[in-house]
Amino acid sequence: MTIETLQALTNSQGSLIALQQRLSATRDIMKEEVLQNFVFDLRDYADSLRVVTDLSTVTTIETIEVTEISRVFSEQNQLLRTLITDLEELDEQNKSQEFLNLTEGELRRLIGSLQGVLELNSLNLQDNLIFQRQLKDKGITVNQTTEVVVDEQEKTGFFQRLFGKK
């Protein structure tokens, strides 16, 4: 179950990144500071999922619309909770090796990181309500036909991404 959950989360992350890129390409959104902040927060959240999605690759990207952000966040919330529960059970049973050959310490750090991502998910879910309301109030529409390519970036470690070294 854990690998399937991870794959679903990875695909969902790809969809969020594609949506975020479409939102970034919408000039009316990027002119408004509050809307722009949500778009950047969305990217930060999608990047935070890499703590676990780097262990998998995107297989399908569902095109999601702006109005579906809450649904995606809710689904990801459930996937994160399921993944955390499954990983905690592996940790309790001292079977950390069963999840992609992680050591016990790596598994515990991953669980802690996922709990932080879960908090970000909840905050973005709340911020999304404000974002949706402001889009509606300002009459801003997002071009739904813009084609966006999701980067299949080379998977790098945290410190490599932080310091930009290879």
Could you tell me the pLDDT band of residue 57, with boundaries at 50, 70 and 90? confident
Phi, psi of 99, deg, nearest 5: -110, 90
pLDDT for 76: 96
Q: How many CB atoms lie within 10 A of CB 26?
A: 18
Could you tell me the pLDDT band of residue 23, with boundaries at 50, 70 and 90? very high
Read off the pLDDT of residues 109-164 as tens digits, 9 standing for 90 and up.
999 999 999 999 999 999 999 999 999 998 888 866 544 444 444 556 655 655 66
- pTM of structure: 0.80
Domains of the chain, residue spans: 2-139
What span, in angstroms and rounded, lies between the C-alpha atoms of 44 and 39? 9
Span of 21-35, 58-72, 83-97, 121-135 with lowest mean pLDDT: 83-97
